[in-house]
Structure 1
Amino acid sequence: MSVGALLAGAGGPSGSTAAADAADETAAALAVLRRAVSIDVHTHGGKTGISSKSPPSDDLANHMRAGALAVACLADVPDGPILGRDAAGALAAVRTPASGELYRHHLARLAWMDELVAHHGIRRALNAADLEAAHQAGEPAIIGDVEGLDFLDGRLERLEEAHQRGLRHLQLVHYTPNDIGDFQTGAIKHDGLTEFGAEVIRACHRLGFVCDVAHATEDMVRQAVKVASKPLLLSHTAVAGSRAMGPTPLTGRQVTPDHARAIAETGGSVGIWHFFPDLDAYVTGLKEMADIVGTDHVSIGTDQFDSRGCVADYTRWVHLMAAMLRGGFTAEETAKIAGGNYLRIFKAAVG
């Protein structure tokens, strides 16, 4: 369903003031989505997405159309096969991968992405013009993304292969120790960013990738900022001690105000995940970050994986926009956070 069709049906029956108000909120949200490209800056596509055992299907495209989401940064997880729960119940690498295992898994997930694009109603965006064209056509698009460069195995040339395969967004670290840098929930091995990690950042800039430092330690991020010549992204997190989230096992993945400001200083953006009790709390979580770095440096990175979180599928996207407007963000601010800030980064990094 196109945004225009959604707008035409937004009013619906309104036998009460509450129903009329809800219809007005939906119409206002859809007006924002019609004007501006909206982008989830980090997702796995939900419970039937790229990180599931399900084959590619029409689910992602159908949900994006229903919720009027234009673009999803769809993240393959190379270290997925070796992840599990550690003794404390936290997500972690629970075994050492076999030689070449993570690279092979990565290639299999790229093939999954190819199948999704070829047969299931999703465009692949390779540049900013593709994003804007998909939005204008009302056709959902993905940006190929990888969560953790564990598939490199020290081979920088695999970045060129990744670019040739249609990826345009790369996250440096995840849950598995690698030779790029330290991650927030693991033991410190490198005191931040390695020299190889610096080479990777420079190669990302040269080849045309968005460079994502989610999961990286604050020390690694500060060192990455010194290397970077283009805006950096931190795609999915929340403010440390977020009152909107409340008690959470994700504390180790939250970021301090100074951590977030380091990203903003590059002209980049910090994405906020959807692990909040409801959409109104999610909006408060977005405000918590905006109060630190400003609305020019906040994005939405749901980290949508399964049914957990308040945006369990993209039929909820338009309702998140309505909640943002209801919660005090202006239409202009909503458009920036919902996609405009990432589009600025993407244009600078990819073209």
Structure 2
Amino acid sequence: MDWPIFDGHNDTLFELYLPEAGKERSFFIQSDVGHLDLPRARAGGLGGGFFAVYLASPPSADQPERPAEGPFCMPLPEALDLGYSQRIALAMSGLLFRLEAEAQGALKVVRDARELRTCLEQGVVAAILHFEGAEAIDPGLEALDLFYQAGLRSLGPVWSRPNAFGHGVPFAYPHSPDTGPGLTAAGQDLIRACNRLGIMIDLSHLNEAGFWDVARISTAPLVATHSNAHALCPSSRNLTDKQLAAIRESDGMVGLNFAVSFLRPDGRQDAATPISIMVDHVLYLVEQLGIDRVGFGSDFDGATIPQAIGDVRGLPHLMAALAEHFGPEDLRKLAYANWVRVLAKTWREG
């Protein structure tokens, strides 16, 4: 049976809001640019996902290109200004709500598990508003309740750069995720406030010290929306076995990142990466976490993904490869049910 696929991460809002010259596109018209639009989502069986608000550094910031192969350790851009961050976050959040208004019922920004389940059952693309980094939240957390009321239901305390709440993990290979200090006092308050509101906390870009701070403080399941197994690809962005064990104990989950440099054992930015390597990570994550705690977190529109997937229309190819290892019920869990479970638990809806 073909299951709707729920995806833990995409950067489509950023690509629509600030496209490269010549790569402008509409979310409602099928394109060969990028990875995701509504027609391609339907063709690929995408039932929904986390739509990330990613705040790029200002154009004046000098950010070198990531090398095609390791070893490397990329310098991180400087922390962002609160005013700049809030302006961009408001604009990108507003873009998602405009897409919802223009979709004529084909896309819905969901705020609870009931809405999510209904969308998946009815073939409506379910979008969760996610902040990839909390730069738009002031250290006093006055803006957090406002963004929650607007629809924010998932938050990564940091994208890899440092901010008022903690320190992200730099892009480095081969490298441990243990790269510096953890959460600040404001970051610890942020975790408690997210627990109070029922905002999911995404660990994907936190360094290891920050990960353990969240594990110590949070009362919610530990979730990494788009990360892979460090044992198979020793990138700083991937999770160690010890971290995976903590996620398992919390009854959380991990979404498989499709970025080739986080999949390949050699860490190369090489799109000629076979689907079998993606399957290897899923099998390893299931071994470490259990079948109920693994899903997908593609990083569509934010990463180089395997040519064999291409874009969202390639999701059935991944499911077909996984069907050689898993039965129908386990495929249902990997496709969407595990995400529904952990979100309902995080949002305290049972």
TM-score class normalised by the smaller sequence: 0.7 to 0.9
1:163 maps to which residue?
Answer: 148
Task: Describe the shift of the 1:84–1:143 C-alpha distance in structure 2 as closer, same or farther (beyond 3 A).
Answer: farther
Give the alignment of 1:193-272 within 5 angstroms: 193-242=183-232, 251-272=235-256
Give the aligned partner of residue 8 of structure 2. 41
Look at both structures and tell me which one has the larger radius of gyration over its CA atoms. 1
> CA offsets, 1:102-125, max 9 Å, x none?
111111111111111111331111
Find the residue that maps to 1:299 and give its secondary structure. strand
Correspondence for 1:316? 314
Q: Equivalents in 2 of 1:131, 1:297: separation in Å?
A: 18
Evaluate the alpha carbon distance shift between residue 334 and residue 164 of structure 1 in structure 2; reply closer, same or farther with a 3 A threshold.
same
Please state if 1:342 is matched with 2:339: yes
3-state SS of 2:12 partner? coil
TM-score for both structures, normalised by structure 2: 0.80
Corresponding residue SS for 2:50:
strand
Provide the C-alpha distance between the structure 1 equivalents of 2:295 and 2:18, rounded to a whole number of angstroms.
22
Whether contact under 8 Å (2:165, 2:187) holds in the other structure is: yes
Distance 2:7 2:90 in 1: 23
Q: Which runs of 5+ in 2 are unaligned?
A: 31-36, 68-72, 172-176, 261-272
**Is 1:71 the equivalent of 2:20?**
no
Judge which range, 43-52 or 110-119, deviates more: 43-52
Contact persistence 1:84–1:93 (CA under 8 A) = no
Identity %: 25
47 and 145 in structure 1: CA distance in 2 versus 1, 3 angstrom threshold: closer
TM-score (normalised: structure 1): 0.80
Matches of 1:180 and 1:340 in 2, distance apart?
31
Alpha-carbon RMSD: 2.7
Higher helix proportion (structure 1 or 2): 1
Match of 1:285 in 2: 281
Matches within 5 A, 1:90-239: 93-95=76-78, 97-98=80-81, 100-120=83-103, 121-185=106-170, 191-239=181-229
Residues 273 and 84 (structure 1), Cα distance of their counterparts in 2 relative to 1, 3 Å cut:
farther
Q: Deviations over 1:178-219 (max 9, x none)?
A: 122222218989731222212111111211211111111222
Gaps of 5+ in 1: 1-27
Tell me how many residue pairs correspond in the alignment. 311
- 8 Å Cα contact 1:86-1:94 kept in structure 2: no
The letter of the residue matching 1:40 is D
Alpha-carbon spacing, 1:315–1:290, altered in 2? closer, same or farther (3 Å): same
